[in-house]
Amino acid sequence: MPPLLTPAPSLLTLARVGKTYDDGTPALAGIDAEIARGSFVSLVGPSGCGKSTLLRIAAGLTRASEGEVRWQDGARPANLGFVFQDATLMPWARVFDNVWLPLKLQGIARKTAGPRIMAALSLVGLAERADAFPRELSGGMRMRVSIARALVTDPPILLMDEPFAALDEFTREKLDDDLLTLWRDQGLTILFVTHSVYESVYLSQRVLVMGTRPGRIVEEIVIDAGYPRTAFRESPSFHAACRAVSSALRKGVPA
């Protein structure tokens, strides 16, 4: 008899991934991780633990020195979404054209891409600012445009590198909530890098806690609260989970 609950197939598998920089510094060693389709996973760790490097390896922007990055469909999806810490918009292009970029590079004409661009902008609540230039927007709005650009390709996975770290607390909480809504409504798969314990616990189903020298995963903590998590944020179990992540973080940093 088949088991009642088959685990969701893993979209992305990191197997014994290691990275040594050209000068011989070990950045990452023996990273094993599985990202299931439809899941929200956070990588949390102190600065210099290589969490951004790991994300770049997953995206194919940096080559791993050891180990393997396996995708469910074989090759790395060409339309994966990547969100940087800065909004990384082209300042000379209007919001509409910034979001068009991934499609434009695939050879899709501006007019053909129009409905998809506007749909992505509607998802982040910025359809009305399509004609604005990035510098006319606030930091939070720029980040929303960046997310819209990542979503316009209908990506199988969204890789986010400390996307809200530069924003103020209030904006950050709002964007966290909106990201969760997007994740649930659109059935996204998200791998989210952050150095904020609270953010990782609030957002994700699984928190991969990283340690330094070399960068490695020291513990995986499952957060099994349901969504939406507004009430969870005030609950004792939220604080218990934060404590668990914090103590794992302390373990990961050699004295």
Structure tokens at 205: 């189903």
Q: How far is the CB of 134 from other proteins (least distance, A)?
A: 7
Q: How far is the CB of 200 from other proteins (least distance, A)?
A: 22
Per CB under 8 A, does 232 bind other proteins? no
Per CB under 8 A, does 127 bind other proteins? no
Type and span of the H or E element at 43? strand 40-44
Per CB under 8 A, does 61 bind other proteins? yes
What does the DSSP 8-state code read for residue 7? P
Distance of CA 110 to the CA centre of its chain: 27
Closest-CA residue to 79 (of 106, 57, 97): 106
Stretch that binds other proteins, among 2-10, 98-106, 122-130, 220-228 (CB under 8 A): 98-106
Stretch that binds other proteins, among 23-31, 72-80, 199-207, 223-231 (CB under 8 A): 72-80
d(CA 161, CA 159): 7
Judged by DSSP in three states, 74 sits in: strand
Q: Tell me the backbone φ, ψ of residue 3, rounded to 5 degrees.
A: -60, 150
Per CB under 8 A, does 230 bind other proteins? no
Measured from the CB atom, the residue of 149 and 216 that comes closer to other proteins is 149
Stretch that binds other proteins, among 73-81, 117-125, 209-217, 226-234 (CB under 8 A): 73-81
Of 32, 86, 219, 220, the one binding other proteins by CB under 8 A: 86
Of 102, 156, 215, 252, the one binding other proteins by CB under 8 A: 102
Per CB under 8 A, does 106 bind other proteins? yes
Structure tokens at 223: 């957060």
Report yes or no: 223 and 205 within 8 Å, Cβ to Cβ.
Answer: yes
Closest-CA residue to 203 (of 245, 168, 144): 245
User: By the criterion CB under 8 A, which residues form the site for other proteins?
Assistant: 56, 59-61, 78-80, 82, 84, 86, 88, 90-93, 101-102, 104-106, 133-135, 153
